[in-house]
Amino acid sequence: KSTIDKIAAGEVVERPSSVVKELVENAIDAGASAITVEIKDGGKSYIRITDNGCGIPEDELSVAFMRHSTSKLRDASELADIHTLGFRGEALSSISAVSRVEMITKPADTLMGVRYVIEGSKEVSLDKIGAPDGTTIMVYQLFFNTPARKKFLKTDTTEASYISELMERLALSHPDISFCFISNKKEKIHTSGNGNLMDTIYQIYGRQIASNLLAVEKETDLLKVSGFIGNSNVARGNRSLENFYINGRYIKSPLLSKSVEEGYVGYLMQHQYPFCVLMITTKEASVDVNVHPTKQEVRFDDEMAIADIFKSLIFERLYQRED
Ligand code: ADP
Ligand code: MG
Protein backbone atom coordinates (compact mmCIF):
# COMPACT_ATOMS: atom_id res chain seq x y z
CA LYS A 1 0.00 0.00 0.00
CA SER A 2 2.70 2.43 0.96
CA THR A 3 4.51 1.81 -2.35
CA ILE A 4 1.38 2.57 -4.34
CA ASP A 5 0.89 5.71 -2.28
CA LYS A 6 4.46 6.75 -2.97
CA ILE A 7 3.97 6.29 -6.70
CA ALA A 8 0.65 8.14 -6.62
CA ALA A 9 2.37 10.90 -4.67
CA GLY A 10 4.57 11.57 -7.68
CA GLU A 11 1.47 12.74 -9.55
CA VAL A 12 0.33 15.24 -6.96
CA VAL A 13 3.47 16.18 -5.07
CA GLU A 14 6.27 17.35 -7.28
CA ARG A 15 7.86 19.89 -4.95
CA PRO A 16 7.12 21.93 -1.81
CA SER A 17 4.96 24.40 -3.73
CA SER A 18 2.66 21.57 -4.88
CA VAL A 19 2.17 20.59 -1.23
CA VAL A 20 1.31 24.17 -0.32
CA LYS A 21 -1.07 24.45 -3.27
CA GLU A 22 -3.03 21.32 -2.33
CA LEU A 23 -3.19 22.21 1.37
CA VAL A 24 -4.22 25.82 0.82
CA GLU A 25 -6.92 24.64 -1.60
CA ASN A 26 -8.18 22.33 1.14
CA ALA A 27 -8.28 25.27 3.55
CA ILE A 28 -10.21 27.33 0.99
CA ASP A 29 -12.63 24.43 0.43
CA ALA A 30 -13.06 24.26 4.23
CA GLY A 31 -14.48 27.78 4.14
CA ALA A 32 -11.54 29.48 5.86
CA SER A 33 -11.49 33.28 5.99
CA ALA A 34 -7.86 33.40 7.18
CA ILE A 35 -5.02 31.15 6.07
CA THR A 36 -1.42 31.30 7.29
CA VAL A 37 1.38 29.49 5.51
CA GLU A 38 4.76 29.20 7.15
CA ILE A 39 7.76 27.48 5.58
CA LYS A 40 11.39 26.86 6.40
CA ASP A 41 14.20 26.06 3.98
CA GLY A 42 12.02 26.50 0.91
CA GLY A 43 9.47 24.11 2.41
CA LYS A 44 11.85 21.17 2.29
CA SER A 45 12.13 20.74 6.07
CA TYR A 46 8.91 22.39 7.26
CA ILE A 47 5.55 23.58 5.92
CA ARG A 48 2.73 24.66 8.22
CA ILE A 49 -0.73 25.71 7.09
CA THR A 50 -3.25 27.06 9.55
CA ASP A 51 -6.86 27.78 8.68
CA ASN A 52 -10.02 28.75 10.54
CA GLY A 53 -12.22 26.54 8.40
CA CYS A 54 -14.67 23.76 9.27
CA GLY A 55 -12.13 21.28 10.69
CA ILE A 56 -12.34 17.49 10.41
CA PRO A 57 -14.38 15.42 12.89
CA GLU A 58 -12.32 12.82 14.75
CA ASP A 59 -14.07 9.85 13.16
CA GLU A 60 -13.31 11.12 9.65
CA LEU A 61 -9.70 11.97 10.23
CA SER A 62 -7.81 8.80 9.34
CA VAL A 63 -10.17 8.21 6.40
CA ALA A 64 -9.28 11.65 5.03
CA PHE A 65 -5.69 10.43 4.67
CA MET A 66 -6.67 7.42 2.57
CA ARG A 67 -6.29 7.48 -1.16
CA HIS A 68 -9.34 8.51 -3.19
CA SER A 69 -11.25 9.51 -0.11
CA THR A 70 -12.92 12.83 -0.46
CA SER A 71 -15.83 14.45 1.31
CA LYS A 72 -16.41 16.77 -1.60
CA LEU A 73 -18.63 14.86 -4.03
CA ARG A 74 -22.22 15.60 -3.42
CA ASP A 75 -23.86 13.80 -6.33
CA ALA A 76 -22.95 11.69 -9.32
CA SER A 77 -23.26 14.56 -11.77
CA GLU A 78 -20.19 16.11 -10.18
CA LEU A 79 -18.13 13.03 -10.99
CA ALA A 80 -17.41 14.34 -14.44
CA ASP A 81 -15.93 17.43 -12.85
CA ILE A 82 -13.60 15.62 -10.45
CA HIS A 83 -10.49 16.52 -12.34
CA THR A 84 -11.50 20.07 -13.10
CA LEU A 85 -12.22 20.78 -9.48
CA GLY A 86 -9.25 18.96 -8.10
CA PHE A 87 -11.49 16.89 -5.87
CA ARG A 88 -9.50 13.76 -6.27
CA GLY A 89 -9.03 12.73 -2.68
CA GLU A 90 -5.32 12.31 -3.26
CA ALA A 91 -3.56 15.21 -1.60
CA LEU A 92 -3.47 14.12 2.04
CA SER A 93 -2.65 10.50 1.21
CA SER A 94 0.05 11.50 -1.26
CA ILE A 95 1.67 14.08 0.99
CA SER A 96 1.67 11.78 4.01
CA ALA A 97 3.25 9.02 1.90
CA VAL A 98 6.39 11.09 1.37
CA SER A 99 6.77 13.06 4.61
CA ARG A 100 5.88 13.19 8.29
CA VAL A 101 2.54 14.93 8.71
CA GLU A 102 1.03 16.26 11.89
CA MET A 103 -2.52 17.59 11.80
CA ILE A 104 -4.38 19.34 14.59
CA THR A 105 -8.02 19.91 13.78
CA LYS A 106 -11.22 20.89 15.54
CA PRO A 107 -14.69 21.52 14.14
CA ALA A 108 -16.42 24.46 15.85
CA ASP A 109 -19.15 22.21 17.31
CA THR A 110 -16.80 19.94 19.27
CA LEU A 111 -15.12 20.72 22.57
CA MET A 112 -11.81 19.01 21.99
CA GLY A 113 -9.60 18.88 18.96
CA VAL A 114 -7.55 15.95 17.69
CA ARG A 115 -3.87 15.60 16.92
CA TYR A 116 -3.01 13.04 14.25
CA VAL A 117 0.47 12.03 13.22
CA ILE A 118 1.23 9.97 10.12
CA GLU A 119 4.62 9.26 8.60
CA GLY A 120 5.33 7.55 5.28
CA SER A 121 1.65 6.40 5.16
CA LYS A 122 1.95 4.81 8.63
CA GLU A 123 -0.25 6.14 11.40
CA VAL A 124 1.83 7.15 14.38
CA SER A 125 -0.73 8.54 16.81
CA LEU A 126 -4.20 9.99 17.28
CA ASP A 127 -4.90 11.93 20.49
CA LYS A 128 -7.42 14.38 21.83
CA ILE A 129 -5.99 17.82 22.36
CA GLY A 130 -7.14 21.36 23.13
CA ALA A 131 -7.13 23.38 19.91
CA PRO A 132 -8.70 26.42 18.26
CA ASP A 133 -11.46 25.91 15.65
CA GLY A 134 -10.03 24.98 12.26
CA THR A 135 -7.07 22.99 11.05
CA THR A 136 -3.31 23.20 11.31
CA ILE A 137 -1.28 20.83 9.20
CA MET A 138 2.49 20.49 9.44
CA VAL A 139 4.60 18.71 6.86
CA TYR A 140 8.12 17.75 7.97
CA GLN A 141 11.03 16.43 5.89
CA LEU A 142 9.32 16.21 2.53
CA PHE A 143 10.61 13.31 0.38
CA PHE A 144 12.59 11.82 3.29
CA ASN A 145 11.82 8.36 1.87
CA THR A 146 12.11 9.20 -1.84
CA PRO A 147 15.72 10.38 -2.24
CA ALA A 148 15.48 10.61 -6.03
CA ARG A 149 12.71 13.20 -5.75
CA LYS A 150 14.53 15.06 -3.06
CA LYS A 151 17.62 15.34 -5.19
CA PHE A 152 15.59 16.84 -8.01
CA LEU A 153 14.53 19.84 -5.91
CA LYS A 154 16.12 23.22 -6.53
CA THR A 155 17.83 25.41 -3.93
CA ASP A 156 15.91 26.55 -0.84
CA THR A 157 15.72 30.07 -2.26
CA THR A 158 14.25 28.89 -5.55
CA GLU A 159 11.73 26.58 -3.91
CA ALA A 160 10.72 29.43 -1.56
CA SER A 161 10.23 31.74 -4.53
CA TYR A 162 7.88 29.21 -6.17
CA ILE A 163 5.82 29.16 -2.99
CA SER A 164 5.87 32.93 -2.75
CA GLU A 165 4.56 33.29 -6.32
CA LEU A 166 1.90 30.69 -5.60
CA MET A 167 0.80 32.62 -2.50
CA GLU A 168 0.54 35.83 -4.53
CA ARG A 169 -1.70 34.08 -7.06
CA LEU A 170 -3.87 32.49 -4.40
CA ALA A 171 -4.29 35.81 -2.59
CA LEU A 172 -5.16 37.62 -5.84
CA SER A 173 -7.84 35.11 -6.73
CA HIS A 174 -9.36 35.21 -3.21
CA PRO A 175 -9.47 38.84 -2.08
CA ASP A 176 -12.07 37.78 0.51
CA ILE A 177 -9.57 35.56 2.35
CA SER A 178 -6.77 36.94 4.50
CA PHE A 179 -3.48 35.28 3.54
CA CYS A 180 -0.28 35.40 5.52
CA PHE A 181 2.93 33.92 4.19
CA ILE A 182 6.03 33.52 6.36
CA SER A 183 9.33 32.17 5.08
CA ASN A 184 12.23 31.50 7.48
CA LYS A 185 10.45 33.60 10.15
CA LYS A 186 10.01 36.62 7.88
CA GLU A 187 6.53 37.76 6.88
CA LYS A 188 6.48 38.05 3.08
CA ILE A 189 2.81 38.53 2.25
CA HIS A 190 -0.11 39.65 4.36
CA THR A 191 -3.46 40.49 2.82
CA SER A 192 -6.46 41.78 4.72
CA GLY A 193 -9.13 39.67 3.06
CA ASN A 194 -11.49 42.64 2.80
CA GLY A 195 -12.78 41.44 -0.58
CA ASN A 196 -11.32 44.28 -2.62
CA LEU A 197 -9.01 43.23 -5.47
CA MET A 198 -7.30 46.61 -5.72
CA ASP A 199 -6.47 46.58 -1.98
CA THR A 200 -5.15 43.05 -2.34
CA ILE A 201 -2.89 44.11 -5.21
CA TYR A 202 -1.62 46.98 -3.07
CA GLN A 203 -0.97 44.69 -0.10
CA ILE A 204 0.98 42.24 -2.25
CA TYR A 205 2.90 44.48 -4.63
CA GLY A 206 3.04 47.84 -2.87
CA ARG A 207 2.34 51.39 -3.86
CA GLN A 208 4.42 51.59 -7.01
CA ILE A 209 2.31 49.03 -8.80
CA ALA A 210 -1.03 49.74 -7.17
CA SER A 211 -0.95 53.46 -7.93
CA ASN A 212 -0.50 52.87 -11.64
CA LEU A 213 -3.44 50.65 -12.42
CA LEU A 214 -6.34 50.96 -14.81
CA ALA A 215 -9.50 48.99 -14.22
CA VAL A 216 -10.65 46.94 -17.19
CA GLU A 217 -13.93 45.27 -17.91
CA LYS A 218 -15.25 43.67 -21.07
CA GLU A 219 -17.91 41.19 -22.04
CA THR A 220 -18.27 39.37 -25.35
CA ASP A 221 -20.31 36.35 -26.34
CA LEU A 222 -17.29 34.15 -25.60
CA LEU A 223 -16.20 35.46 -22.23
CA LYS A 224 -16.14 38.13 -19.54
CA VAL A 225 -12.94 39.80 -18.36
CA SER A 226 -12.39 42.11 -15.44
CA GLY A 227 -9.40 43.24 -13.44
CA PHE A 228 -6.52 45.67 -13.61
CA ILE A 229 -3.68 46.47 -15.95
CA GLY A 230 -0.58 48.47 -15.08
CA ASN A 231 1.07 50.99 -17.34
CA SER A 232 4.69 50.85 -18.39
CA ASN A 233 5.98 52.37 -15.12
CA VAL A 234 5.71 48.98 -13.53
CA ALA A 235 6.97 46.90 -16.43
CA ARG A 236 9.44 44.14 -15.66
CA GLY A 237 11.81 42.16 -17.81
CA ASN A 238 9.75 38.99 -17.50
CA ARG A 239 6.15 37.83 -17.41
CA SER A 240 6.03 37.36 -13.63
CA LEU A 241 3.57 40.24 -13.21
CA GLU A 242 1.12 38.93 -15.78
CA ASN A 243 -1.66 37.16 -13.88
CA PHE A 244 -4.47 35.41 -15.73
CA TYR A 245 -7.28 33.46 -14.11
CA ILE A 246 -9.86 31.47 -15.99
CA ASN A 247 -12.97 30.55 -14.02
CA GLY A 248 -11.07 31.20 -10.81
CA ARG A 249 -8.07 29.12 -11.74
CA TYR A 250 -4.60 30.58 -12.33
CA ILE A 251 -3.26 29.77 -15.78
CA LYS A 252 -0.30 30.57 -17.95
CA SER A 253 -1.05 31.23 -21.60
CA PRO A 254 1.47 32.44 -24.15
CA LEU A 255 -1.52 33.42 -26.30
CA LEU A 256 -3.04 35.69 -23.64
CA SER A 257 0.36 37.10 -22.65
CA LYS A 258 1.24 37.96 -26.24
CA SER A 259 -2.15 39.52 -26.87
CA VAL A 260 -1.91 41.74 -23.80
CA GLU A 261 1.66 42.69 -24.67
CA GLU A 262 0.61 43.61 -28.19
CA GLY A 263 -2.14 45.75 -26.73
CA TYR A 264 0.61 47.63 -24.93
CA VAL A 265 2.61 48.30 -28.08
CA GLY A 266 3.90 51.83 -27.85
CA TYR A 267 3.78 51.78 -24.06
CA LEU A 268 6.52 49.29 -23.41
CA MET A 269 10.18 49.35 -24.21
CA GLN A 270 11.76 46.32 -25.78
CA HIS A 271 11.95 43.34 -23.41
CA GLN A 272 9.50 44.93 -21.01
CA TYR A 273 6.38 43.10 -19.89
CA PRO A 274 3.30 44.68 -18.36
CA PHE A 275 1.46 44.12 -15.09
CA CYS A 276 -2.02 42.68 -15.19
CA VAL A 277 -4.49 40.81 -13.05
CA LEU A 278 -7.28 39.61 -15.31
CA MET A 279 -10.17 37.45 -14.17
CA ILE A 280 -11.74 35.65 -17.10
CA THR A 281 -15.09 33.90 -16.97
CA THR A 282 -15.88 31.75 -19.97
CA LYS A 283 -19.40 31.63 -21.29
CA GLU A 284 -19.06 28.68 -23.61
CA ALA A 285 -17.21 25.42 -23.73
CA SER A 286 -14.75 27.15 -26.04
CA VAL A 287 -12.03 26.95 -23.44
CA ASP A 288 -10.49 23.70 -22.36
CA VAL A 289 -8.84 24.53 -19.07
CA ASN A 290 -8.70 20.94 -18.10
CA VAL A 291 -5.50 19.67 -19.64
CA HIS A 292 -4.22 18.28 -16.34
CA PRO A 293 -5.48 19.05 -12.82
CA THR A 294 -2.08 20.07 -11.52
CA LYS A 295 -0.92 21.94 -14.61
CA GLN A 296 -1.62 25.49 -15.63
CA GLU A 297 -2.32 24.90 -19.28
CA VAL A 298 -5.31 26.08 -21.22
CA ARG A 299 -6.58 25.57 -24.75
CA PHE A 300 -8.89 27.78 -26.77
CA ASP A 301 -10.98 26.66 -29.75
CA ASP A 302 -10.72 29.97 -31.52
CA GLU A 303 -7.34 31.44 -30.65
CA MET A 304 -7.70 34.35 -33.07
CA ALA A 305 -10.94 35.53 -31.52
CA ILE A 306 -9.50 35.31 -28.00
CA ALA A 307 -6.33 37.15 -29.02
CA ASP A 308 -8.40 39.94 -30.56
CA ILE A 309 -10.51 40.38 -27.45
CA PHE A 310 -7.43 40.88 -25.27
CA LYS A 311 -5.50 43.07 -27.67
CA SER A 312 -8.42 45.40 -28.11
CA LEU A 313 -9.30 45.33 -24.42
CA ILE A 314 -5.86 46.65 -23.45
CA PHE A 315 -5.49 48.96 -26.40
CA GLU A 316 -8.88 50.61 -25.92
CA ARG A 317 -8.30 51.10 -22.21
CA LEU A 318 -4.86 52.65 -22.63
CA TYR A 319 -6.04 54.82 -25.52
CA GLN A 320 -9.06 56.02 -23.56
CA ARG A 321 -6.88 57.31 -20.78
CA GLU A 322 -4.68 59.29 -23.14
CA ASP A 323 -7.72 61.30 -24.31
P1 ADP B 1 -9.84 16.33 -1.63
O2 ADP B 1 -9.48 17.76 -1.31
O3 ADP B 1 -9.67 16.02 -3.08
O4 ADP B 1 -11.18 15.92 -1.08
P5 ADP B 1 -7.66 15.70 0.10
O6 ADP B 1 -6.79 14.50 0.23
O7 ADP B 1 -7.02 17.00 -0.24
O8 ADP B 1 -8.78 15.37 -0.96
O9 ADP B 1 -8.49 15.88 1.45
C10 ADP B 1 -9.29 14.79 1.90
C11 ADP B 1 -10.43 15.26 2.77
O12 ADP B 1 -9.91 15.79 4.00
C13 ADP B 1 -11.23 16.42 2.17
O14 ADP B 1 -12.25 15.94 1.34
C15 ADP B 1 -11.78 17.11 3.42
O16 ADP B 1 -12.95 16.48 3.85
C17 ADP B 1 -10.71 16.87 4.45
N18 ADP B 1 -9.82 18.04 4.65
C19 ADP B 1 -8.57 18.19 4.18
N20 ADP B 1 -8.01 19.35 4.55
C21 ADP B 1 -8.96 19.99 5.30
C22 ADP B 1 -9.02 21.26 6.00
N23 ADP B 1 -7.97 22.11 5.99
N24 ADP B 1 -10.16 21.57 6.65
C25 ADP B 1 -11.21 20.72 6.67
N26 ADP B 1 -11.23 19.52 6.04
C27 ADP B 1 -10.12 19.14 5.36
MG1 MG C 1 -7.65 18.55 -1.59
**How far is 268 from 65, CA to CA, in rounded Å?**
49
**How far is 95 from 98, CA to CA, in rounded Å?**
6
**How far is 240 from 58, CA to CA, in rounded Å?**
42
Q: Is 39 in the pocket of ligand 1 (CB under 6 A)?
A: no
**pLDDT at site 167:** 97
Summarize the confidence of residues 210-235 as an average pLDDT.
86
pLDDT 10s digits, 99-109: 999 999 999 99
Predicted interface score ipTM higher than 0.95: yes
Give, for ligand 1, the residue of 58, 71, 85 to mutate: max count of ligand atoms closer than 8 Å to Cβ: 71
**pLDDT at site 59:** 94
pLDDT 10s digits, 254-288: 999 999 998 888 777 777 888 999 999 988 666 76
**How far is 42 from 267, CA to CA, in rounded Å?**
36
Using the CB atoms, write b or e for 285-305: b if 16+ within 10 Å: eebebeeebeeeebebeeeee
pLDDT 10s digits, 111-163: 999 999 999 999 999 999 999 999 999 999 999 999 999 999 999 999 999 99
**How far is 86 from 12, CA to CA, in rounded Å?**
10
Is the predicted pLDDT of residue 84 greater than 50, yes or no? no
Q: With cut-offs at 50, 70 and 90, classify the pLDDT of residue 300.
A: confident
What's the gap in Å between 77 CA and the centre of ligand 1? Answer: 20
**pLDDT at site 57:** 97
- Residue 194's alpha-carbon distances to 6, 201, 208, 248, in angstroms, are 40, 12, 21, 18
Q: With pLDDT > 90 as the criterion, what percentage of the chain qualifies?
A: 62
Q: Which residue has the CA at smallest separation from atom 25 of ligand 1?
A: 55
What's the gap in Å between 253 CA and the centre of ligand 1? Answer: 29
Atom of ligand 1 nearest to the CA of 86: 3
Q: With cut-offs at 50, 70 and 90, classify the pLDDT of residue 83.
A: very low
- Beta-bridged to residue 36, according to DSSP, are 50, 180
Q: Which long-range CB contacts under 8 A does 68-73 form with residues at least 24 apart?
A: 68/93, 69/93, 72/29
What's the gap in Å between 276 CA and the centre of ligand 1? Answer: 32
Q: Is 91 in the pocket of ligand 1 (CB under 6 A)?
A: yes
Q: With cut-offs at 50, 70 and 90, classify the pLDDT of residue 315.
A: confident
pTM of the model: 0.90
3-state helix, strand and coil shares in percent for the chain, rounded to the nearest 5: 40, 30, 35
What's the gap in Å between 322 CA and the centre of ligand 1? Answer: 49
- Beta-bridged to residue 183, according to DSSP, are 39, 186
Q: Is 92 in the pocket of ligand 1 (CB under 6 A)?
A: yes
Mean per-residue pLDDT over the chain, rounded: 88
Q: With cut-offs at 50, 70 and 90, classify the pLDDT of residue 31.
A: very high
Higher pLDDT, 112 or 233: 112
Identify the structural domains of the chain with CATH numbers, from first to last: 2-190 (3.30.565.10), 212-322 (3.30.230.10)
| β-strands 134-140, 46-51 pairing | antiparallel
**pLDDT at site 323:** 45
Give, for ligand 1, the residue of 92, 96, 98, 139 to mutate: max count of ligand atoms closer than 8 Å to Cβ: 92
Closest ligand to the CA of 91: 1
Q: Is 169 in the pocket of ligand 1 (CB under 6 A)?
A: no
**pLDDT at site 303:** 86
**How far is 230 from 202, CA to CA, in rounded Å?**
12
